[in-house]
Chains A and B, each alone.
Chain A
Amino acid sequence: MTQRHRLPQGGAIERDRVLRFTFDGRAFEGFEGDTLASALLANGAGIVGRSFRLHRPRGLLASGLEEPNCIVTVGEGAAAQTNLKATEVQLSDGLVARSVNAWPSARFDVGSVVSALRPLLVTGFYYKTFMWPRWALYEPLIRRLAGLGRASMLQDPDRYDVLNASCDVLIVGGGPAGLSAALTAAASAASVVLVDADRSFGGTLLAAGEAARIEGVPARTWLARTLATLQQSANVRLLARTLATGYYDHNLVTLVEQLGSTADIALGRNAPRQRLWRLRCSKVILATGAIERPLVFQNNDRPGIMLASAVAMYVNRYAVLTGTDVVIATDNDSAYEVAETVAAKGAPRVTLVDTRLGGRAELSDRMMRAGVRLLPGHRVVAAHGRRRVRAVTVAPCDATGEIDAARAAKLRADLVGVSGGWSPAVHLFSQSGGRLTYDTKLPAFVPSTARQAVTVVGAARGDFDFANDNKRTMWHVRSGKAAQQWVDFQNDVTVDDIWTAATEGYASPEHLKRYTTLSMAVDQGKTANVNALGILADCTGRSLSDIAVTTFRPPYSPIPFGVLAGRRRNDLFVPLRRLAAHERHEALGARFANYGGWLRPECYARGGESFERAVQREALAARTAAVLFDASPLGKIEVKGRDAAKFLSRIYISNIATLQPGAVRYGLMLSEGGTIIDDGVVACLAKDHYQVGTTSAGAQRIAAWLEEWRQCEWPGLDVVTVPVTTQFGTVTLAGPLARTLLSQLVTDPDLSPVAFPHLAVRMGSVAGVAARILRVSYTGELSYEINVPARQVASLWERLLSLGETVGVTPMGIEALMLLRAEKGYIHVGADTDATTIPDDIGFGQIARNRREDFIGRRSLSSAEATRADRWQLVGLDSLASERVIPVGAQCLPRSGAQPPVRPCGRVTSSYFSPTLQRPIALALLERGRQRIGEQIEVYDLGERYAARVAPPTFYDPEGTRLNA
C-alpha cells in the first residue's frame, strides 16, 4: 500500500516503524508518530466522513480537537470507543476504525440519498415537517437515523483511575506561550504542572517550518532545549497526552490523562487506560492558544478544503501534502507562511487569495520568491466538485466586502487552505467565571475580567504574532446560495439556517444554538461559534460587542463516563456491607439480597425448595418452635449524659424520662412537619445512659439527626451520642422454645418471666460472651435480641444454631420476618408509612396527644392538615377470595365497580399469604380506615379487582399472650 500523499522526507514520524490499520474495512499503512487523520490523508483517503443531517461527503478540516468531520469508532466489541475525532487518535499497529453515520462506508454511503430530502430537513424541522397525520409515526425512524456513533452496549472493560493532587502553578497548553511560562515558573520554588493534550509538547511549533525562529534560535532547537530544562527541573511535572477538561470553583481543574495504549490492553496488560486528575491549584496559567476559523462560502465543506494551519501541520509534522494545485484563501497574515511552506515542499502551483488589498511589501516579496501567485483583494466565492474539491471561483472584492461577480475567475484546486481569522480558546477561562469582551481589531472574543486566580497568556489572550487589521470582517460571502454555505460542519448548520432561526424569533445566541443545534455536536462548535455569531449579528443588525456567547461547560472535549467513575464501578459503586457472620449464612445456603446497603439473607432455601416455600417454612417455624435471625444491621446509638433523657424526650413522641433502668420502650421519631421518619426501641441502661434503636436503613440517618439537633439547636445540653451499630452484632432468638434454648447457654441474667419480662434489657453473658440482651419482639413471639461485640457474633450464631439441633432452631431470613410482623400489624417505616404519615394514622395519636412537653414535630400535629377527619389510616385487609394475595401497591376504590380513572381512597402497603392463619392478609392505609372496620371494599391493581374486608391491623394474637410468655 503506497502512501501516495506522503512526502519523501521530513516530518516527526518514524519511517522505520510501519503500522498497519484499517478504516471502514480497507487496509492501510502509516508510521509511528501519525494520527489516524494524518495516516488517512497520507494514503489518499479523501472522503472520511458523512455529515450528520444530510450525509454530505466530508474530508478532514483540521489537525486537532477542533476537527468536525472525521468522527470515528475505534476498536470493536466491548472496548470500542466511539465519536472520537481521527485527529485525536494516536495510530497504533492493528488499529481498527470505522466512520460513524455512514453505511457501508464513508466513501460509499447509502444514507447520502437523504441529501435529496433537504427541503424537509430545514432547521427546526421536527416542529414543521413530518407532522401529518402525527409526528409519532415518523419519530422512531428519525430517531434511528439520528446520532453519530453507536456506543457498545457491553460493559466498558477498560480500567480508569482518579487522582487528587495539588500544585502551586498549573499551566494549560505546551505551546510557545505555555512553555515560556513554565520556564519562568520552574525557576521559582513553586510546584509546577504543565499539561498538553497532544503526545508531544510544542503546540504551534510542531507545525513550524525550518525557517521559524524563536528568540533568534530555530524553533525546533528552542523547543528541545526548553523541554530538556523542564524535564530536569525537579519541581516541574510534565503531563503530555493530558487534556484539561474542566475549570471549577476555587481553582480546581480536571485533567484526563491517556495512559496505556490500545496495544497494551490488547496484550493483556491490566493498566488503567485513562486517569482523571482533580488538581487544586494556587494559580492557573491558561496558554490554550487559538482556533482558526474557516471561511464561509458556497460549498465550503467539500473534501479537500482545510484550515490553512492544518495544511501546514500535516506538511511539516507528518510530511503529508494532499494536493498539487493548492489555493490558500485568507483574510489575515498567518496563512502566508502556509503558502510559503507548501510551495517549498514541492507543490507545483500555489495561489494565495487574500481579501485585503495591497500594502504588504515584505510579504509580497516573500511570496514572489517562493513562487506563490498572490491575488490580493480577492475572495473565494464558491468551491466546485462533489466528492472532492476540483476548483474554486474567486472574485475581486472591495473594501466593504462587495463581490465584483463580473470579474470572477475559476481556479483549478485540489487542496484549499482557508483562514478566516483566529478565535482565542477561551473555554476554560469562561468556565472559571471569567468574562469575555469582543475585540473588533482581531476580531475575536478575548478574556477580560478573571474571577479566580487565573491569567491567560499568548494567543489565548489575543496576542497574535501576525497582523490582522481587517477594516471590516465579512462573516460569509454575500453571493451564492446561503443554504450551501456551511457554518457548523458537524451538525450541518448553514447560513440559511441561521437566517431562518433569526427570522422566526430565535435571535439570541442561546436560542439560535438550540433551535439550529449549532455547536451541539461532539466538536462543540469549535470552528463554528464565532462565525455563527458574526452572521447572527449581521442579520439582526447588531454588533458582536452586544452579543453574549453561549455558556461554556465542561468537558472541553468529550471524555468517557468511565474516567469520571474511576474505580467506583460494579461492586465498588456502592459497596455493599456484609454481616460479620456472612460466611455462616453462606454455608447454610442463604439467598442474599441488598437490604438498605447490607447484603442479607432473604431466606435459607433447603434442598431445592422455592423461595416462597422457604419463607413459609421459616415463618411457621417461628410460630411453632424457634428461629435464629441475624439482626446486626439494626441501628444502635448510645446516648449518655445528665441530660440524656431530656434530649431523647424531645426526639421521640414518648416521654423518655419515665423509662426506668432495665426497661425498653417502642418509640416513634417525627420530622418537624410531624411525619414519621423512623421507629425503634429505646433501652434505658442507667439514668444517664440509653441505647437508641433505629431501623436498619435509618441507622446512619438517625445518628446524623441526633447530632444535628444536639450540635445546632441544643448545644447546652449535657449529652453525647455515639453510633455503635457495627460495633455490636445482634442475633435474635425467637419462638415459643426461645427461653428453653437460651437457658442452656445463659445463667446470668435470670431468664424467668418475672425477672426478665417483655420490653426489658439485661446485661449478662451468653456462652461466656458478655452480652446486652433485649427482650423485644418484631415477630410477635417470645424473643431475645442478643447484642455481643461484632467480632464474636459469628461464633455466637454457631453456638445458638448448634444448640437447636436437638429441638430444631431454624435460621430465618428477612422475608419471613417481614411476613410475621405483618401478621401482628407492626409497621415497616417506609412501606406502611410514607412522607405524609403522622402518628395518629397508625394508631399512635393518643401517645402524642398525652405529652405535655414539646418534642420535634409536636406543633405540626395540631395543624389543619394533621387533624383532617378523612386521613388515611392503617387497617388490615382480609382477602375474600381465599387464595388471592393482593399485590402491594394495589389501590382501594371509593366504591365497588368504579372504573378508572378514579381517585383512590387507599392503598395496600404490605401483603402476604399467612402460613399461620392459612389465608392471605394485608395491611393498607385507607381513608377513615378505623371507622370502616367490617366493611367490604374493592381493591384494584393493573386491571385485576380484589374483594376485601376491612379489619383491625393485628391478625394474630391481638392480646399479646405469646409476646408476654
Chain B
Amino acid sequence: MLLISCPYCGARDEVEFFCAGESHVVRPPSPESASDAEWAQYLFFHGNPRGVVCERWRHVLGCNQWFNVARNTVTHEILAVYAMGERRPEV
C-alpha cells in the first residue's frame, strides 16, 4: 500500500490514485508515416523492468492531475515524483 506524494496535494494513500503504466512513451509525431512495426511498438511493446520504472499516475480522488513517479518495482521504494512533461530524472 504505497504512500505517494502528489506534487499538488502532498502525501496520500495509494487508493487515491490510478496508475496508467509506463511514462515517456513517445507517440510517433506523424502516425501516418509510421511503419506497422513502429506503430505496434508504440501501442503494445512497453518496458517491464526489474528495478527502477517511471510510471504515469493520476490523483483521481484528489486534484485529478497526472504526474510521473520513479519507483523500484522490487522494493516499491519511490525514488522521485516529477511533473507530467518533465524529463526522466537521474535516479
Contacts and interface: CB of A to CB of B under 8 A. Distances in A.
A439 B8 CA distance: 48
Contact of A250 (B1, B32, B39, B64): B1
A712 B84 contact: yes
Interface in A701-744: 704, 707-708, 711-713, 715
A673 B27 contact: no
Interface in B8-48: 13, 20, 27-28, 30-32, 34, 36, 39, 42-43
A252 B1 CA distance: 7
Interface stretch (A37-45, A486-494, A515-523, A854-862): A854-862
Contacts of B28: 859
Interface string A431-464: 0010000000000000000010000000000000
A556 interface: no
Contacts of B85: 715
A162 to B, nearest CB: 11
Contact of B75 (A433, A711, A864): A433
Interface in A108-150: none
A164 B75 contact: no
B39 A164 contact: no
B2 A249 contact: yes
Contacts of B80: none
A959 B82 CA distance: 55
Contacts, number: 53
B27 A858 contact: no
Contacts of A249: 1-3, 76
A672 B28 CA distance: 12
A115 to B, nearest CB: 46
Contacts of B20: 708
B36 A711 contact: no
A863 interface: yes
Contacts of B66: 707-708, 711-712
A859 B39 contact: yes
A280 interface: yes
A252 B64 CA distance: 24
A672 B64 contact: no
A433 B60 CA distance: 29
Nearest to B68: A712
A250 B3 contact: yes
User: DSSP class of A's interface residues: helix, strand, loop or mixed?
Assistant: mixed
B88 interface: no
Interface residues of A, number: 24
Nearest to A254: B1
B45 to A, nearest CB: 13
Nearest to B67: A711
A859 B1 contact: no
Contacts of B60: 704
Contacts of A712: 56, 66, 84
A552 interface: no
Nearest to B30: A854
A250 B2 contact: yes
B1 to A, nearest CB: 4
A859 B30 CA distance: 9
Nearest to B38: A859
Contact of B84 (A164, A451, A711, A859): A711
Contacts of A280: 3, 13
B64 A673 contact: no
A672 B31 CA distance: 11
Interface size of B as a range: 20 to 34
A280 B15 CA distance: 13
A864 B39 CA distance: 13
Given A248-B1, A250-B1, A250-B76, A715 B39 contact: no
A787 B53 CA distance: 46
Nearest to A715: B85
Contacts of A828: none
B38 to A, nearest CB: 10
Nearest to B20: A708
A278 interface: yes
Contact of B39 (A704, A708, A860): A860
A704 B66 CA distance: 11
Contacts of A164: 13
A438 B56 CA distance: 41
Contacts of B32: 854, 858-859
Nearest to B85: A715
A278 B3 CA distance: 12
Given A250-B76, A711-B84, A712-B84, A863 B36 contact: yes
A947 to B, nearest CB: 42
Contacts of A248: 1
Nearest to A707: B64
B16 to A, nearest CB: 11
Nearest to A280: B3
A586 to B, nearest CB: 31
Contacts of B75: 433, 451
Contact of A859 (B3, B31, B56): B31
Given A249-B2, A252-B1, A859 B34 contact: yes
B85 to A, nearest CB: 6
Interface string A247-267: 011101000000000000000
Contact of A711 (B34, B42, B65): B65
A877 B56 CA distance: 46
Given A708-B58, A712-B56, A859-B39, A252 B3 contact: yes
Residue from A433, A713, A859 whose CB has the most chain B CB atoms within 10 Å: A859
Nearest to B78: A250
A800 B71 CA distance: 57
Interface string A660-676: 00000000000011000
A859 B28 CA distance: 10
Interface string B51-66: 0000010101000111
A374 to B, nearest CB: 51
A712 B31 CA distance: 17
Contacts of A860: 39, 43
A673 B65 contact: no
Nearest to B42: A672
Contacts of A713: 27
B11 to A, nearest CB: 9
Contacts of A278: 1, 13
B43 A672 contact: yes
Nearest to A710: B66
A278 B14 CA distance: 12
B37 to A, nearest CB: 11
Nearest to A852: B32
B47 to A, nearest CB: 17
Contacts of A864: 36
Interface in A541-555: none
Interface of A: 164, 248-250, 252, 278, 280, 433, 451, 672-673, 704, 707-708, 711-713, 715, 854, 858-860, 863-864
28 contacts: A164-B13, A249-B1, A249-B2, A249-B76, A250-B1, A250-B2, A250-B3, A252-B1, A278-B13, A280-B13, A672-B42, A672-B43, A673-B43, A704-B60, A707-B64, A707-B66, A708-B66, A711-B65, A711-B66, A711-B84, A712-B84, A713-B27, A715-B84, A854-B30, A858-B31, A858-B32, A860-B39, A860-B43
The 7 A-B residue pairs with the shortest CB-CB distance, nearest first, are A859-B31, A250-B3, A252-B1, A248-B1, A711-B66, A249-B76, A249-B2
Given A250-B2, A713-B27, A854-B30, 6 more contacts: A250-B1, A250-B76, A252-B1, A433-B75, A859-B28, A859-B32
